[in-house]
Structure formats: C-alpha cells, structure tokens
Structure 1
Amino acid sequence: MDVLRQLQSFFWSKRILLFLSILCLALATALGLIYPNLLRVLIDDMITPRNFEGVPMLALTVLGVVILKSSLQFLHGFFGARLGNYLAYRLRNACYEKLQFLSFRYYDTAKTGDLMSRLTGDLEAIRNFIGFGFAQILNMVLMVLFGSIMMFSINWQLTLITMIFMPILVMVALKFETQIHPAFQEMRLAMSSLTTAVQENVTGVRTVKSFAREPHEVDKFSIRNERYKTNQIFASSLWAKFFPIMELLASMSVILLLVVGGRLVIQEELSLGELVAFFSLIWYIIGPMWNIGFHINNYTQSKASGERVLELLNQPIDVQDTEDSIVLAPEQVKGHVSFEHVTFAYGNKIAAVTDINLDAPPGTVIGFLGGTGSGKSTIIQLLMRAYNINSGSIKIDGMEIKDINIRSLRSQIAAVFQETFLFSSSIRNNISYGLKDVSMEEIIRASKLAKAHDFIMEMPLGYDTIVGERGMGLSGGQKQRIAIARALLKNPKILILDDATSAVDMETEHEIQSGFQEVMRGRTTFIIAHRISSLRHADEILVLNEGHVVQRGTHDELIRVPGQYQDVYHIQYADHIAREQQAPGKQVNS
C-alpha cells in the first residue's frame, strides 16, 4: 500500500468521490444479504406451511431490493469512474510536466517506448484500481464480514465447520500474490521494450528500408515479442497452478455445509429454510474468496504500474534554478560569454571536455572545429546549461550561468542543431515556435534570411503547409533552413549554429552565410562546422581533439601553422591548392 500512499496526493482532494463510491457499494452489498433471509421466509413461513398469501408482497419486496441495489451499483460506478478519470488526468499532467523539466542526463538513457508505456498502459492500470479495484477489495472484506455475522446468527457451530478451509484459502491467495507481482513487473518491462522497438522502427523506417534490414527488424521484434509471450505464459501458469487449488478449497466448504447441514435438517436441529439461506450465504463468502486472485491480480498490476510511474515522478532533476536565481532582463543582456577552466564528464566519468577557456565579447563570432567526439557540441550544451559542469565557471555578462534562471538564460539563446526537429504542424507554426504575437512580416523576413522563403512559397499552401512527423516530406536542407529561420526569428543575444548548414549545398550555404553576416551583427555567435568555409570569418577558431583545445586563432593564423586545422584545410581545398600551384607566377596562400 506504500505506492497508494505516494499516489494519494493526486486524488485525495476528490476523496468524497472515493467515500461515496465505497458507501454505495457497501450498501448494495448489505442489501444483497436480504435475499437469503427472503429465501428462508419463503421456505419456512410460506412453502412448508403452504401459506401463499404473503408471496405477492415478498415478490414486491424482492423487486424493490433489486431496483435499489441496481441504483446503488450505478452510483458506485459513476463515482468510481469520476475519481479514476480525475486521478488519471492529474497523473498524466504531472508525468508530462516532469518530462519537460527532466535534465538532458535523463534523456541520454531514456527510451521513448518505455516512457509512452508509462503514460498509457501504466496510468490506465492505476486508474482502474483507484476508481474501482480499491472499492472492490473493501467490498470483498464487507461481504465476508456481513455474511459471517449472518451465518453465526443462524447457527454458529455450522458456520465454524464450513469455514475450516477459509484460512488455507487465504494463505494460498497470499502465496499467489508474492509470486504474481514480480511476474507482472517483468511483463511491464517486456511491454516497454516491445513498444520501444515499434517506436524506433517507425521513426527510422527510411534507414531500415535503405539498408534492406526488414528481416533483421522482424527478428529483433520477434525476440522482444517472445520475451513478452514467455512472461505472459509464466503468469498464466501461476494462474493455472493456484486457481484450481483455490476452487477446490472453496468447494470443500460447500461439501461440508451440505453434509453437516443436511444432517442437522434431518435431525430437525436446523430448518430447511435456514439451510437454503446458509447455502446462499456461503457463496456470499466463497465468491470473494474465490475472486481474491482476481483482486490481487488487479492490485499487483496497479502496484507494478504505480512503481513505474512514481519512478518517473521521483526522478531527480540535475539542473535546477537556485532559490535566488537571477532573471535576465532582455534589454540589459549584452551577450558576453566566457569559459574559465571548464571541465565536464558525462556519466561514464571520462572527461568530455577538459580545461576549456574562451572569451567571447558581445558581437564576437567563435568557431569550433574538430572530429566526432572532440567536445564541440558538449561546449554548446554546457553554455545552454543542459548539464552542470564538474569544475570551472561559465559566465554571461560576468554572471555565473548556474546563478541565472534557466528559462531566462535559454530565452537569450537560439540554437540550430545539425539534427533538425520539426513538429507535425504548419511551417508557420514551426518557424514561430515558442513565440507569441509574431507578425507574418517577421516570419517572412526570418525565412528570407534563412533562404527558406522561396521554396516555402512554392508549396501548395505556402506557410500554412503542414509538414509530416519530424518534418517528413521536406528535404534535409529545407528542414535545416526552416530551423535557421526559427532561430533567427527569436532575435537572440547569443546564436548557436551547430553544423547548421551541413544538409545544404555549397551554393545555398554561401547564400545563407551572406544572410548571417547581417544577423550576427551585435550578437555573440558560436559556429560548429566541419567545413572551413563556414568558419573562416570567425573572430577566433578553437580546434578541439578529445576534449582539449589543441589550436586556437583566426583562419589566417591557423592556416599558416602546421596542425589539425591546416590538415583539414588541405583536404577540403586540395583541388583549389592544386590549381593555385599550377598557375604560373602564383604562390599558395589563404
């Protein structure tokens, strides 16, 4: 029940619905006890003495009880459904909000399919248990309690005899719970793995087909599906093992009742009506005992689901605002960025960047060049405070970024990443994402600077054209130009271009960079690129290797110094250098 206590805050404000649901179900259960008494009256007071005058009134009484009981059951369902839906609504919002604020470190290892499973199947299991399952368990207790009291009132010796097997039945049910709960936990994990496989396959379907890896994906899915099937079979085997035992124990109680009770009737120590009433009441008790496995099943499923949801809700947020964090006033931000002896390592404890120093006054253009894993993107992520640094300091306008309100900090930064993400919405909404009261003129101006306006206007609906999921239907270059327009529209003090023109041709890159000259004016700009053509106009270029700055300087300075930058230049401009060397009377220079 510890899981339920932790979830209590999500439904306790509507506890009146829970209490009303339980009350209605308890009253309906109590009314059910009238039936055995009516049977006893019918047999002992009417059929045996052949006195049938009271039968019509008895029938009307039964009708009234049925109508009242049905009404109470309806109210139980109504209140339970309201409570369950309210809980699911609040939990779903809380989980989604948590996902928005979890740090990048969490998403480094999180699986989309697993998260989707928690927000759908797990929440549904919790909703059903809180809305109905919890009341049903309490009702089971009430049925056993009320039924036992009535049976004791008729014949306490016969009651004790028929209940001999009940403690054993309870012990078997509890044993069942201890084995079925881990099985359901494993089933939930297997389902998450299955969902992740489907999500990844659908997202990467173009890659799968381009490599003709459909059979491999089918095999991979089959393995995960086999795992889920195996867990399902194991859970079913537990049911197959325990359910017949519980049914046998319940049936033994009925056999004892018929044998001992029949003898008491023959000896005239018990009336026939009381035996029939006893027979109805024993099923009133055996029914809940028989279904205790079903209730345990619901409870264990909701418990396993609750643990997974709480695991998400209780995830620590690594990057958080301090209590007295500084909110930047946009008009006062100049964009002076400095790194002082910054070192950072991801979870593997191997430093991604080591002792990074740089100073970027307002309006400065800083370039980064280096191979994969050299730490270029990590430096940018640290500037956006995606992670907390291990040592050193990062400052904007002399203020430590750890002391600045995160939302306020990121509002002054616009980034265009190499891996462009677009939402399933119109091009207009994608460009103006995150901004309110943006005019169409501003959107068009940003699109023209990003060289996106012309191809957008060629589309059937122009800026109102709906792009597919993750920008499907657009080329890589088109998606990148829309992302650039989105960044420019934000009018940031700090602009980050993380290989932003990698998906466009050289001609388009030149056109975009010409537009950047105007955009970069007055802004601090960081450019990550593999093409030297994107960096040659930077005020300072940092060349990185395995997280260390191995060279730094302007393009003209670095091209004259033997090292990594000069090597890259010679590779990218080999044809140009060859032509220069072949031209008579010319010397090779930058």
Structure 2
Amino acid sequence: MAAFRIDLINRYLKPHRRTLILGAISLLIVNILSVAIPFEVRRVVDALEEGFSFNNILRQAGWIISLATVMGIVRLLSRQLVFGIGRQVEVDLRQRLFDHMLIQDPEWVQKTGSGEVITRATSDIENIRRLLGFAILSLTNTFLAYAFTIPAMLSISPWLTAASVSLYPLMLGTVRLFVGRMIGQRKRQQEALSRLSELIQEDLSGISAIKIYGQEAAEGNAFSKLNINYKNAAINLARTASTLFPLLQGISSISLLLILALGSGLIEKGFLTIGGLIALILYVERLVFPTALLGFTLNTFQLGQVSLERIEELLTNTPLIKDQNQSRRLKLPVKGKLEARGLNISYENDQKEILKNINFVIQPGELVAIVGPVGCGKTTLARALGRMINVSSKQLFLDDIDVVELKLDELRKNISLVPQEGYLFTTTLKNNIRFGVPDETIDKVKLVASQAHLTEDIKGFPDGFETLVGERGITLSGGQRQRTALSRALLTNAPVLVLDDALASVDNKTASAILTSIRTKVNRTILMISHQLSAAAACDRILVLSEGRLVQQGTHESLIKIDGIYKKLWDREKAVEKLDEVK
C-alpha cells in the first residue's frame, strides 16, 4: 500500500480550500437531513395509532417531500463542488505537467520514453482526479453517514442496530476481495488495449513496408490475436463485476430480512413501534451504499496516492539545460560569430568523451562545412551549438558571449538547427513551414520555399501550400521533407544556420544550388554538416573531425593536397561516383 501522502493531497487541495469547505458543509447538511427524514417518517407513522386525518397526512407528506427535495438539491450541489475540484485539479495538473515536459532535456525525454510520459499524463492524472474528487467525497460522506446514522439507530433499538450492521463487515470484505481482482483485470484490459493501439499505430506508420514485403496476412493475424486478448480481458472484468453486485444485493437483503424478523418480535413485545422499525429499515438502506462503496473508495485512494508520487517524480525532475539566474542578452544586431574554446562533450552517465578539446572560430557570414567519418561527433557539435545537449561554461561562444549565459529562447532564436530528420506535423505544408513563426505571411512562406528549391515540387501538389502533410511527413519524399524543414528554419531569419546533414536526400547539384540561394542573406553564418563532399567543396572553409577531435581545417583546395582524413574521404567519394557512372 502506498504511503499516506497527506502533504501532497493538501498541496493540491489548498488552492480550492473555499470550494472544499462549501462542499463539506453541503455534505453535512445532506447527512443531517438523511437522519431527520426517517425520524419524521417514524413520527408520522406512530402518530397514526392515535388517529387518522387525511389532511394531516397530506401536510406531513408534503413536509417530508420538501425535506427530501432540499436534500437532493444540496446533495447535487455537494457533488458538483467536490467533483469540480477533482476536474479542475486534473486540468491544471495536466497543463502544468505539459509545460514542465517542454522544458526537459531532449535526452531525458528519450530515456524516460514517450509512452511512459503519456501514461502518466493521462492515466495517472485521471487517478489523481478520482482521488481528489470521488474518493474524498465518498470517504467524507461515509464518515458522516456512520457518525449521524448509527447514533440515531441506537436511540431506537441498540440490539436491533447491532444485528442489522453485523453483516456489513462481510459486505466490506466481499468488496475488498472483488475490487482487488477487478483492478488487476482492468489493468490487463488496459494493457491489452495499449498493445492493440501500438500495433495499429505501428502498422499505419509502416504500411509501405507491409505492402512491399506482402505481410498483410501476418499483420492481420497478429491483430486478431491481440483483439481476442482484449475481448477476453474485457469479458473477465465484466464477469467479475456482474458477480459482485448481485452478491452485495443479496447481503443487503439478508440484513433487511434480519431486521424484519427480529423487529416484528420486538413490536409484538412492545419494545419497538412500527414507525421505529420503518425508520431502522430506512437507516439500514442508507448505510448499504456507502459501505459497499467503501472498498472501491479505499482502492481509488491507494491508486491515487501512487499516481501522486509518479506525477511528482516527473514534476521534480530538474533539467540540466536551463536559463541561469542572471542570463545575458546579445547585442543587436547579432553578427553570427561562433567560437569553440577547448570544447569537450560527454553524454550523461557515459565516461567516453564524444568531442575532445575542439577549438575553432567562424566569422560572421562564413559558409563552413563540417565533415568526417560516421560517429566522429558532427551531430553532437551541431546539437551543442543550440544547447540541445548540456554544454559546460566558457567553451562555446556566440558573438563572444558564452552560450551558457544566454537565455535559451534567445540562443535558439539566433541559431537555427535543421536536423537530418526534420519532424513534420500532421497539418498543412504552409503551417509546417511557418511553425517557428505562426503568424508569418504566405508571401514570406513562398519566398523561403523558393530558396529551399521546394516551389516546383509544391506546384505539383493539387492543393499547393494547403496540402495536408501526413504523420511525420509520410506523404512527402525524403528530399521534400528535408527541404520543408529547411524552409521552416529559413523563415525564422536566424543569423546562424546549422544544417545537420539536412541536404542528404537531395542530389549534389540541388544541394549546391540551395546553398547558393540561402547565402543571399548578408552575414548569415552557415554551418553545413554533410557527407556530400562535393557540396562541402564549395564552402569557404572545411572543418574535419575524427574520433571527436578537430584534425584538419582549411579550404577544399588546400585539404586535398594533404594526405589526411579529408583526402581519403574525397578520393572515396570520387571512386563511388565513377562506379555509379559505370553501372
């Protein structure tokens, strides 16, 4: 069982204290009226022994109906107030969690897993809503029901009261037994549904591969198995629930029979009036529901506390990459000078250094290529420039200001990173391009699309810029996706543009034309990470990385004259091109 975290519960309820007090007062009124109505019924029934008056009966009935009406209205109000607290906490907490996720390090999100985060943001928050709404309402109502009802029953007949509630422990034990089983069955049903959803999502994303390899039948069989598992899990849950409720009804009926059997004897001996017996029956009926619900409530309470701790675990995670207390601002206009001074990068919990003592200066307006073998640290360098990974202070500088001292939004507004796999959203092509500047005009969108050599492709789309891009850009080719991501970066008009193999899916001729086009902005600094040395050859300067170190730098003409990494890579690319020509 989870530890009782009253501190967390108080923290979430504190902003809603006024509403909670009103809800508690409403519940108090409901329970007072719930005790008063059977007493009134008892009084009216016992008064009939002295004489019958139709008008008096009507007045008394009207009075009791009035009390019941007020009780119903106040009960409705109490539920709206307390359930409303749970709903408001759910909305606020989900927003708070989402905002917190946006500031987390990308590396942390990948390690935690998007599925785990989504589960906590949905199922766990729903459990907290039930805890702060249903569970608190039910526990408070159960406490008040017993606190007011048992004394009222004892005042009528202590012995009959003890006999009537003697079966309640059995009822509570039955509920606890079945609820534990139902929670496990519900969890298995949710897991079966989750596996079903994952298969659907995976098959929709990989529908091309399924068709290419003719695996429609195999995937259909896999879905059928998961579908049957889900059906069996749902039937098991329904079977348990359909067994529990008749059992509770049976125990309740036995309790009523006990009252009738024992109560009739007491009436015969003159120890109990008919009105008293009716009142006791009403009180027993009143206690059946909260008693039966107590088992569900306690399990909801426990699940809610576990979810509170799981959510708190996410909310207390502090990102490594964040603004410093005294962040600096760049001097306008931003020139775009980049400098690395003894840059060392190693990922968290990994002793191996990815980048080792990197030093370079890139002047404003330069077009610089970064090349090297696979795994040499090129992408790590690109991500470090935008602080997508943690960077130590005094190692990377933008316009002679330490990037660690800059506010993150200002740094990323001035250094635009285009990754190799630019993520596209399920919206129009126009909205994907202007994702960084949502209110930009269509004319500017067309201009950057032209610079990225995307215009001719868009003309071939029936809806042009209003073409709906599928999930992750599945309706576009690899080159179109990369050029759309490049257009998005160009629209931000950042003084520094970092292309992390962002032209890998276009041919060398197109890549060279795009580089020429995007250099039209005066003093735009461009870093191009690429395996296409033909495109890199046109750059002002080339930095060569190998095993995390900067081993060469210079122009293409100077580097091919030196025996080194760059010359080997260049000769290999030329040899591949000759083989392609022969084929």
User: 2:107 matched to which residue of 1?
Assistant: 105
Per-residue deviation, 1:532: 0.8
Contact 2:393 2:404 in 1 (8 A): no
Q: 1:550 to 1:7 in 2, by over 3 A?
A: farther
Q: 1:356 to 1:413 in 2, by over 3 A?
A: same
Per-residue deviation, 1:187: 7.1
Tell me, what secondary structure is at the counterpart of 1:385? coil
1:368 to 339, 360, 370: 370
Tell me, what secondary structure is at the counterpart of 2:346? strand
CA distance in 2, matches of 1:354, 1:171: 65
Superposition pairs of residues 24-173 of structure 1, within 5 angstroms: 24-46=26-48, 54-164=56-166, 166=168
User: 1:480 matched to which residue of 2?
Assistant: 482
Contact 1:344 1:352 in 2 (8 A): yes
User: 2:276 matched to which residue of 1?
Assistant: 274
CA distance in 2, matches of 1:311, 1:440: 43
User: 1:499 matched to which residue of 2?
Assistant: 501
CA distance in 2, matches of 1:579, 1:305: 59
Name the % identity: 27
CA distance in 1, matches of 2:284, 2:465: 72
User: 2:548 matched to which residue of 1?
Assistant: 547
**Greater displacement, 199-208 / 440-449:** 199-208
**Greater displacement, 531-540 / 350-359:** 350-359
Superposition pairs of residues 169-318 of structure 1, within 5 angstroms: 195-214=197-216, 254=256, 257-318=259-320
User: 1:532 matched to which residue of 2?
Assistant: 533
User: 2:569 matched to which residue of 1?
Assistant: 568
Per-residue deviation, 1:507: 3.5
CA distance in 1, matches of 2:259, 2:173: 21
Per-residue deviation, 1:263: 3.4
Gaps of 5+ in 2: none
**Greater displacement, 199-208 / 371-380:** 199-208
User: 2:357 matched to which residue of 1?
Assistant: 355
- Aligned AA (1:261): G
TM-score (norm 1): 0.84
User: 1:14 matched to which residue of 2?
Assistant: 16
Per-residue deviation, 1:257: 3.9
Q: 1:579 to 1:54 in 2, by over 3 A?
A: closer
Contact 1:426 1:465 in 2 (8 A): yes
Tell me, what secondary structure is at the counterpart of 2:520? helix
User: 1:399 matched to which residue of 2?
Assistant: 401
User: 1:586 matched to which residue of 2?
Assistant: none
Backbone CA RMSD of aligned residues = 3.8
Tell me, what secondary structure is at the counterpart of 2:333? helix
- Aligned AA (1:528): I
TM-score (norm 2): 0.85
Per-residue deviation, 1:188: 6.5
Per-residue deviation, 1:108: 1.6
User: 1:522 matched to which residue of 2?
Assistant: 523
Matched length? 579
CA distance in 2, matches of 1:13, 1:516: 52
CA distance in 2, matches of 1:302, 1:518: 58
**Greater displacement, 189-198 / 398-407:** 189-198
- Aligned AA (1:363): G
Contact 1:342 1:391 in 2 (8 A): no
CA distance in 2, matches of 1:297, 1:252: 26
Contact 2:334 2:399 in 1 (8 A): no
Task: Give per-residue Cα distances to partners, 1:425-457, cap 9 Å, x unaligned.
Answer: 333333232226644443333222211233334
Q: 1:230 to 1:98 in 2, by over 3 A?
A: farther
CA distance in 2, matches of 1:37, 1:255: 21
**Greater displacement, 232-241 / 418-427:** 232-241
Q: 1:225 to 1:12 in 2, by over 3 A?
A: farther
Per-residue deviation, 1:138: 1.0
Q: 1:429 to 1:375 in 2, by over 3 A?
A: same
Tell me, what secondary structure is at the counterpart of 2:355? strand
Contact 1:190 1:228 in 2 (8 A): yes
Task: Give per-residue Cα distances to partners, 1:89-138, cap 9 Å, x unaligned.
Answer: 21222122112111112222244344444444443443344344421221
Contact 1:339 1:357 in 2 (8 A): yes
Contact 2:339 2:359 in 1 (8 A): no
CA distance in 2, matches of 1:411, 1:161: 75
Task: Give per-residue Cα distances to partners, 1:379-411, cap 9 Å, x unaligned.
Answer: 111121112147982222333222221111111
1:434 to 433, 436, 445: 436
1:468 to 447, 463, 470: 470
